[in-house]
Amino acid sequence: MAEPDPENLSSGAGQRLGAPETLGISTLDPGHKPPAMPPGRHVTVTVRMLDDTEEVFDVSQKASGKVLFDLVCSHMNLIEGDYFGLEFQNHKSMMVWLDHIKPIIKQLRRPKNTTLRFSVKFFPPDHAQLLEELTRYLFALQIKQDLSSGRMTCNDTSAALMVSHIIQSEIGDFDESHCRSHLLNNNYIPDQMPLIDKIMEFHSKHIGQSPAESDFQLLEVARKLDFYGIRLHPAKDREGSKLNLAVAHTGVLVFQTHTRINAFNWSKIRKLSFKRKRFLIKLRPDLNSSYQDTLEFLMASRDCCKVFWKICVEYHAFFRLFEEPKPKPKPMLFTRGSSFRFSGRTQKQVIDYVRESEFKKIPFERIFSSAQLCPCLFKLTQTDIFLPPSGFFFFFFCGFTTGVASHSPPPSGHPHGMVNGQKSLELCSHSLDGRQPSPLTSPLLNDACSIRTDDEDEVRRKRFPTDRAYFIAKELLTTERTYLKDLEVVTVSFQSVVGKDEETPDSLKNTILSTFEPLHKFHTGFLREVEQRLAIWEGRSNAHIKGDYQRIGDVMLKNLQALKPLTTNMHKHSDILLELEKACKASRRVENLCRDFELQKVCYIPLNVFVLRPLHRLIHYKQILERLCKHYPATHEDFRDCRAALADVSEVVDQLQGSLIKMENLQTLLELQKDLLGVDNLVVSGREFIRLGCLSKLSGKGLQQRMFFLFNDVILYTSRGMTPTNQFKVHGQLPLRGMTIRESEEEWGVPHAFTLVGQGQSVVVAASSLTEMEKWMQDIKMAIETAKTSNGPTSDVLTCTLTDNKCPEDSSAEAESEDDTSALNTSLEKPAPHRGNTMVHVCWHRSTSVSMVDFSVAVENQLSGNLLRKFKNSNGWQKLWVVFTNFSLFFYKSHQDDYPLASLPLLGYSVTVPAENENIHKDYVFKLHFKSHVYYFRSESEYTFERWMEVIRSATVSSSQARLLNSKDPHPH
């Protein structure tokens, strides 16, 4: 019988490691029905879970392995199922993975007497890539099993630290007698007794750490060990020396006893194959290497060779390919070698799907006995949740909103939710048997309970004025309501936090008080006058002469003249930003107060943005008055007042324009500094932000996702941090002086690639699209030219010098040192709340970028008002109060609510009008869509429809297009 001859493992292996078409559906498709069960006799199959409980599943003998695996994942509500597999002992007493393609009857000789184990199959290098708490929890259980079985060997310090995180998750905060008793009754590692005191010492430092945080810290320690996710396969070299082979995300590893003696990166491997008992690794030619072209290892049998070869093929495909391999055509006459091919999604496809999915991630609750772990995963009913596919999403419990961060370790393992990172209400009680109604319902966003419009609403709305001037005036009213709420965030909410704090400098308190209190008092009165005028205009008052009051210019002229004295000191708002930053650096307590305030629901955008709101509001007044002047004929009674008011506000805006540009740049730098880990002095005189976004960096391990930050003097490249803070860790800096840039798609064979050549180093990156590449190259070229002649900042950005300017993850191996305690120090630190919902994270999840021009356009395009919203497959329309700001839509029940119930970041979305075949038989409807996500919104008039389309386009088009749109007439009649 011919031996297998697998094709080369190279960058184009997607075509050569082809697989038959996947049967059924992926475990990642919760919106589809499970694959149909084939006809035939059914058998019961027992599966042992990672918590050692056993579940029985009823399947047809003719069903494929994928059908059974999907049933297991569905049972657990597991969305990231592709990291896992089912393994069993075959008839030759070898542990093998259940093949998803083959029928169960051809793999299990006696299904009733075979127990399959649900286990982790693919171990990623970065556990932050695991997007769900449930997935990290299952990984933690796998690590616990590997520790207790002795499979994961490590030094005593690492072992004790990992056990301390496990018992923190199981029994909670440290109590000496309880902890010692627990360790005496439960063995987590072989020969545990000598390490009990060290385990207890570590456990005492985890006070306050939730189960979810414990899982995250456990994986943080485990991932740095040589034996993380490793399964040893006995072999011998050509000289007969005993070795062990293993496969990891980086490639094939060679161990001697418990020491790793060699590692062959995927990029160096040309071909993997086996012939009888011999396992062959063919390497790419390397003149600087002493390796032979072909390495040969002898294993116990042909079956041993084949088992190891198959897992190598799967590991290579899962971690190295971007897409699931295409099926290979069947030969006409005969086959040669093994027909096995990888079947399933690659890691990149898994991550992309979960990030983009609008299906909610099911929360789960843990219940622990006093002795040992007894997890309980509640299977809650799925509901129609308004989910932004951006890295944070929202659950609604008993009519209240709860947001949960999905791309970072949650700050709590308990069933608490998060909005902007703050804890919310606990889940409503629910029963294990599912008889009690699921708490995942919302009268706001669940279609079954939606507030629907009816014919009476239609008739009543048509009685309102239809004049365009009325709707322009109504925009003034709706946006003024939002603006006054934003002022109250500072004058009421923030003042109540810092006002009584003794460590907050009096100068800061007085500056905020003297600046915002008069503004709040003025705009309270202004809003009252606008509301009264609109009530008369709509005929909802006792005024008899309505015609004289169907105008707004006189109200604006009088109030803008009264506002003018309050604008004289607005150029000093940057002083508030700097003084706030200075106070946070001087006092840890003030820093914590500000950070905790930003995590409250009411602070729905960064605090610094609220500080600049008064300047942005003047621009909005100018835009509204420009629309009115353009609409009115010169003879209209309201034209003269509008023109006079426009002249007044334009004078103030022109005077503040230069200061505003500097303040927006300062505010952006201050925000970026919070998102970056490893930056020492980002905010310095002369530094200007230009663009941030997601690019793929080419390294020895292939293309790796990185966040790049372009300033007028330097480019920083980062990856998302390994801590619960969700910050981005800076790995290198590229000074712009002396830099050159060139397209290099043909050179590297990577689409949309370009090379940055700096002082003694070069970096190859690839954009997600041609448009993204053009935006980056245009801005970088401009910055390079400017850096040649400007006297920009010269200070080093990083906290420490990176000698090789390379990301540590780019190295091919990470060895554990017995004396290395750096990992222990970081894992013992109490993590700060995460920042998982900033624009940096949205760009990371959408693989896009934004520029300073985009930010400037965004602050000029803000809007508020009522909209009717409909999901793609729902029937009724829901009335919501919607606020557009900071590239996002924020949703409220009404304008009187203090904080939003959900949000939708719009980067990557497209806004269009529905096609006829979508059967939306209503006027003034626009459609938002991103990949498979579709939402319909309905406005009340042609004018409001045009305005919503205009402002949303400002957040969904590139900066170059935004410049063009901004220069054109955006207000057609």
Q: Is residue 257 predicted with pLDDT exceeding 90?
A: no
Candidates 783, 688, 795; CA nearest to 740 is 783
Residue 41 in any domain: the answer is no
Residue 541, pLDDT score: 57
Tell me the helices (H) and strands (E) count for the chain, helix number first: 26, 32
How many residues are listed for the chain in this entry?
973
Of 229, 269, 235, 223, nearest in space to 248 by CA: 229
Residue 699 pLDDT > 90, yes or no? no
- Reading the block at residue 541, the tokens are 């008052």
207 and 253 belong to one structural domain: no
Is 25 part of any domain? no
Does 738 lie in the same domain as 716? yes
Closest CA to 212 of 49, 51, 375: 375
Domain count of the chain? 6
* In a shared domain, residues 955 and 893: yes
Answer whether residue 101 is part of any domain.
Answer: yes
- 8 A C-beta contact, residue 101 and residue 66: yes
Task: Note the pLDDT of residue 33.
Answer: 47
Tally of CB atoms within 10 A around 446: 18
Regarding pTM above 0.75, the answer is: no
Q: Domain containing 606 — which CATH number?
A: 1.20.900.10
Could you say which of 608, 643, 675 is where a domain stops?
675
DSSP 777-789: HHHHHHHHHHHHH
Q: Is the pLDDT of residue 336 over 90?
A: no
Q: Is residue 175 within a helix (H) or strand (E), and if so which, with residue range?
A: none
> 291 falls in which pLDDT band (50, 70, 90)?
low
Identify whether 391 is part of a domain. no
Residues 909-934, mean pLDDT to the nearest whole number: 90
* DSSP percent split of the chain into helix, strand, coil, nearest 5: 40, 20, 40
Question: pLDDT-based confidence at 412, cuts 50/70/90?
Answer: very low
User: With contact defined as beta carbons under 8 Å apart, do 49 and 118 qualify?
Assistant: yes
Alpha-carbon distance values, 404 to 73, 310, 412 (Å): 21, 38, 10
Residues 487 and 628 in one domain: yes
Structure tokens at 877: 């329309």
Q: Which amino acid is at 303?
A: D
Q: Could you tell me which residues come within 8 angstroms of residue 97 by beta carbon, excluding any fewer than 6 positions away? A: 85, 86, 87, 121, 310, 311
Orientation of helix 156-171 relative to helix 133-149, angle to 10°: 130
How many CB atoms sit inside 10 A of residue 930's CB?
A: 21
Segment 403-430 shows an average pLDDT of: 33
**In contact, 484 and 524? CB cutoff 8 Å:** yes
- Report angle CA 132, 134, 139 to the nearest 5 degrees: 100
Residue 73: give its domain's CATH number. Answer: 3.10.20.90
Q: Which ranges constitute the DSSP H helices of 505-550?
A: 506-537
Q: Following CA atoms 819, 823, 826, 829 in sequence, which dihedral angle do they give, to the nearest 10 degrees? A: -80
Angstrom CA distances, 111 to 21, 59, 203, stand at 25, 10, 43
Q: Give the pLDDT confidence of 679-691 residue by residue, as tens digits.
A: 878 888 899 999 9
Cα 800 to Cα 647: distance, rounded to the nearest angstrom: 52
- Residue range 771-811, pLDDT digits in tens: 999 999 999 999 999 988 877 676 566 655 443 344 444 43
Residues 653 and 555 occupy one common structural domain:
yes
Task: Take residue 701 and report the two structure tokens written for it.
Answer: 């391990």
Strand partners, 910: 929
* Average of per-residue pLDDT across 589-607: 89
What per-residue confidence (pLDDT) applies to 478?
95
Are both 490 and 594 inside the same structural domain? yes
The CATH number of the domain holding residue 184 is 1.20.80.10
Model confidence at 833: pLDDT above 50: no
Residue 533's domain comprises 468-675
pLDDT, average across residues 148-170: 92
pLDDT band at 431 (very low <50, low <70, confident <90, very high): very low
Look at residue 448 and tell me whether its pLDDT is greater than 50: no
Please state the rounded mean pLDDT for residues 289-312. Answer: 84
- Please check the confidence at residue 854 and state whether its pLDDT lies above 70: yes
Contact 700, 675 (CB under 8 A): no
Phi, psi angles (nearest 5°) of residue 354: -65, -35
Q: b/e per residue, 104-133, with b = 16+ CB within 10 A?
A: beebbeebeebebbbbbbbbbbebbbbbbb
Q: Closest Cα partner for 167 from 181, 155, 154?
A: 181
Closest CA to 362 of 400, 409, 415, 418: 415
Which of these, 895, 901, 887, 886, lies nearest to 865 by C-alpha position?
895
pLDDT at 199 over 80: yes
How far is 846 from 844, CA to CA, in rounded Å? 6
Q: Categorize the per-residue pLDDT at 963 as very low, low, confident or very high, splitting at 50, 70 and 90.
A: very low
3-class state of residue 154 by DSSP:
coil
* Domain termination residue (choose one: 198, 223, 248): 223
Dig out the tokens for 772 from the structure.
């993204």
Among 84-88, 181-185, 476-480, 954-958, the range scoring the smallest mean pLDDT is 954-958
% of residues, the chain, pLDDT over 70: 74
pLDDT at 875: 76
Q: How far apart are CA 925 and CA 867, in angstroms?
A: 10
- Closest by CA position to 167, among listed 152, 190, 189: 189
Asked if the structure places residue 576 within a domain, the reply is yes
Q: Where are the beta strands (DSSP E) in 179-258?
A: 233-236, 242-247, 251-256
**CB within 8 Å of 667: residues ≥ 6 apart:** 577, 608, 609, 611, 612
Query: At which residue do the structure tokens 């920009």 appear?
Result: 792
Answer whether residue 760 is part of any domain.
yes
Read off the pLDDT of residues 495-540 as tens digits, 9 standing for 90 and up: 888 888 888 888 888 888 889 999 999 999 999 999 999 988 887 6
**Rounded CA gap, 342 and 100, in Å?**
9
> Could you tell me if 526 and 671 lie in one domain?
yes
Closest C-alpha among 768, 690, 707, 718 to residue 959? 690
256 in the same domain as 159: no
Assigned domain for 368 exists = no
Residue tagged 């390495």 (tokens): 295
Residue among 922, 907, 852, 828 at smallest CA distance from 688: 852
Question: What is the mean pLDDT of the segment spanning 245-268?
Answer: 88
At 702, give phi and psi (nearest 5°). Answer: 100, -160
Average pLDDT on 376-380 reads 35
Identify the CATH number of the domain in which residue 748 sits: 2.30.29.30
Do 725 and 832 form a contact (C-beta atoms < 8 A)?
Answer: yes
CB atoms within 10 A of CB 189: 21
Q: How many CB atoms lie within 10 A of CB 2?
A: 10
| Lowest-pLDDT range of 101-115, 693-707, 721-735, 742-756 | 721-735
Mean pLDDT for the chain overall: 77
User: What pLDDT does residue 284 have?
Assistant: 79
pLDDT of residue 748: 80
Angstrom distance (rounded) from CA 778 to CA 973: 35
* Sheet order of strands, 878-885 included: 902-905, 888-892, 878-885, 863-871, 933-938, 925-930, 910-912
Confidence of residue 948 (pLDDT cuts 50, 70, 90): very high
| Same domain, yes or no: 564 and 713 | no
Assess if residue 698 is contained within a domain. yes
Q: How are beta strands 115-120 and 42-48 bridged, if at all? A: parallel
12: its two tokens = 């184009």
Structure tokens at 329: 């055509």
The 3 state secondary structure assigned to 13-52 is HHHHCCCCCCCCCCCCCCCCCCCCCCCCCEEEEEEECCCC
How far is 355 from 847, CA to CA, in rounded Å?
Answer: 11
- Residue at a domain's end among 675, 708, 727: 675
pLDDT at 139 over 70: yes
Q: How many CA atoms lie within 13 A of 187 on its CB side?
A: 10
Same domain for 152 and 107: no
DSSP letters for 350-390: HHHHHHH--SPPPP------SSS-------PPP------TT
Q: H or E element: which one contains 945?
A: helix 942-956
DSSP structure class, residue 281 = E
Nearest-angstrom CA–CA distance, 477 and 757:
53
3-state secondary structure of 93: coil
pLDDT in the model for residue 409: 39
- Indicate if 106 and 185 belong to the same structural domain: no
Mean pLDDT of 200-211: 91
Radius of gyration of the chain (CA): 31
Measured CA to CA, the distance from residue 882 to residue 864 in angstroms comes to 6
Q: What are phi and psi of 936, to 5 degrees?
A: -110, 140
Burial-class residue 482 by CB neighbours within 10 Å (0-12, 13-18, 19+).
Answer: buried
C-alpha span between 65 and 169 (Å, rounded)? 33
Six-digit token pair at 179? 């902890």
Burial 620-636 (b: 16+ CB within 10 A, else e): bbbbbbbbbbebbeeeb
Residue 337 confidence (pLDDT) above 60: no
Statement to judge: residues 711 and 568 lie in one domain: no
Token pair listed for 119: 């286990």
